[in-house]
Amino acid sequence: MAKVEVLTTASVVSLFSPKSLYLVGYGWLLGMSIWVTFFGGVIAYKALPRHQFGALQHKTFPIYFVISILLSAGLTGVWTLSHPNVQKYIQDPFVADVAQAYTLASVCLAQSLNYFVVGPMTSKTMFQRQRLEKSEGKNYNEPGVSEEMKALNRRFGSLHGISSLANLWAVIGLIFHGLWIGNTGI
């Protein structure tokens, strides 16, 4: 029969260990990434008029990217410090601990690309397109839009695609890392 453990102040304080904080940070990052990628945006897209949806994304995505960058950078640092093989074999991505560090670093890099480069360019293009819609009196997807609108549509589509791929890469990397720590521990 299992021993019954009684909670004490000391046992609750001991919960705040590096491993448990790592797991909470990882869970936060994975859950947030899955929600934003597959649920939150889809729900907002279906529930809001297009311009309101764009304004919402413009406000929420930078916060999502910053939190993702901070958490993934923190996880990368903790992983590297707590796994000596990472520093010893840093140039060999086939060493499992190094592969995990690279995976976490790639999440940070993908979300940094989104925050610092692709996201601002996408927002700028979206707002240019909205201004042009007003001046032309047509939605971006109506027949007979100007060549300038067609160019903005192509640019927006490309940027949105790049952003989505970088974000999807982050989600896949986080799932890979989760499978790893689920099988081998932190």
Q: Does 69 score more than 90 pLDDT? A: yes
Residues 72, 107 contacting (CB under 8 angstroms): yes
pLDDT of 174 above 80? yes
Beta-carbon neighbour count of residue 165 at 10 Å? 13
What pTM value is reported for the model? 0.93
- Tell me how far apart the alpha carbons of residues 140 and 69 are, in angstroms, rounded to a whole number: 33
Report whether pLDDT(56) > 80.
yes
136-159 exposure pattern, b = at least 16 Cβ within 10 A, e = fewer? eeeebeeeebeeebeebbebbeeb
Answer for the pair 98, 92: CB distance below 8 angstroms, yes or no.
yes
What is the rounded average pLDDT of the residues 164-180? 98
Mean pLDDT of 101-124: 98
pLDDT of residue 1: 75
Confidence grade of residue 2 (pLDDT, cut at 50, 70, 90): confident
